[in-house]
Amino acid sequence: MHVFAIPMRTRFRRIDVREGVLVRGDAGWGEFSPFWDYDDAESAAWWRAAREASELGFPEPVRERVPVNVTIPVVAAERAGELVRASGGCTTAKVKVAEPGDSLAKEVERLEAVREALGPSGRVRIDANGAWDVDTALARLPVLDRAAGGLEYVEQPCASVPELAEVRRRQSVLVAADESVRRAEDPLAVARAEAADVLVLKVQPLGGVRACLRIAEATGLPVVVSSALETSVGLAAGIALAAALPDLPFASGLATAQLLEGDVVAQPLLPEGGSIPVRRPEPEPELVEAARADEETAGRWRDRLARVQGIVGPS
């Protein structure tokens, strides 16, 4: 196992350095990188995903390329436009909103800059990470929808499934569920409650590519595949999921290697012409070494992985 620590280009999800573990098995490399707000029980799914990647490999793809969106963190409007223009041809942008300390006025400016950079035919989606209550969502969505020149959807406007259902009923912007799927004891509950128009599926938090395929089939809802800020080793699992889905109506949130200062592969999974080719890059020893975490960080991850392995049990 190899513990990595790679600085972020921009503070994202309130972290400045992305950490995790790379493991190698008979089928290739896997990544175990749950955020630290996931406890050991929740992190078990992340280990199952890493074990699937390294021991079983991925299902056969049905497409050769995966369209992706550019992710816009909480940055100034000018920087947001720059990120769109430097995105490798992405025609869809996901813009973070509802960050503590950010204002509605700044969100409006950010969305207007993104729309200008994308042009009229581009698609804009926003992600509130469950930060709003229902009243705030209903008040802000029309404003942000106008600023964006039309929103494709809003991702996780509120934290709970009942709140998502109410927001979906009371306004016209499509609602996508992320945390209500990946952090739920029952990931199908959001579909049964008719609380979302779209499901956001992330391979690591949901236990692997095959687990995500089962959720998509069981719900019958359109799916957006998204990353958990992995290196290209972990992103390869997201690409494999997007490549294996029968239908892929939305751009995937898998261009997040752009948010890292470095990577562990020589040719990271980055967009070319707005999409990423379906491939599985191999880590380079010198890049793995360059990303090696300090001993204190590595020790914390070794201890964490041992605890999680104890929960999951042997393969």
pLDDT of residue 201: 97
pLDDT of residue 185: 82
Alpha-carbon distance of 198 to 175, in angstroms, equals 6
15-25 vs 28-32, strand pairing mode: antiparallel
DSSP state, residue 262: -
Please say whether the beta carbons of 274 and 91 come within 8 A.
yes
Cβ neighbourhood burial of 169 (10 Å; 0-12, 13-18, 19+): exposed
Residue 94 appears among annotated catalytic residues: no
Q: What is the pLDDT of residues 16-75, one digit of tens each?
A: 999 999 999 999 999 999 999 999 999 999 999 999 999 999 999 999 999 999 999 999
76-to-73, 103, 113, 149 alpha-carbon distances in Å: 9, 11, 9, 19
Which residues, listed in sequence order, are joined to residue 29 by a DSSP beta bridge?
24
Residue 106 appears among annotated catalytic residues: no
Please say whether the beta carbons of 133 and 158 come within 8 A.
yes
Is residue 213 scored above 80 in pLDDT?
yes
Alpha-carbon distance of 15 to 51, in angstroms, equals 25
Q: What is the pLDDT of residues 146-156, one digit of tens each?
A: 999 999 999 99
**pLDDT, averaged across the chain:** 96
SS3 of residue 198 by DSSP: strand
The residue-averaged pLDDT of 264-281 equals 97
Please say whether the beta carbons of 196 and 168 come within 8 A.
yes
- Residues 51, 96, 110, 123: which is the catalytic one? 96
Residue type, 289: E
Q: What is the pTM assigned to this prediction? A: 0.95
- Residues 168, 202, 280, 304: which is the catalytic one? 202
Which residues, listed in sequence order, are joined to residue 70 by a DSSP beta bridge?
93
Confidence of residue 12 (pLDDT cuts 50, 70, 90): confident
Q: What is the pLDDT of residues 100-149, one digit of tens each?
A: 999 999 999 999 999 999 999 999 999 999 999 999 999 999 999 999 99
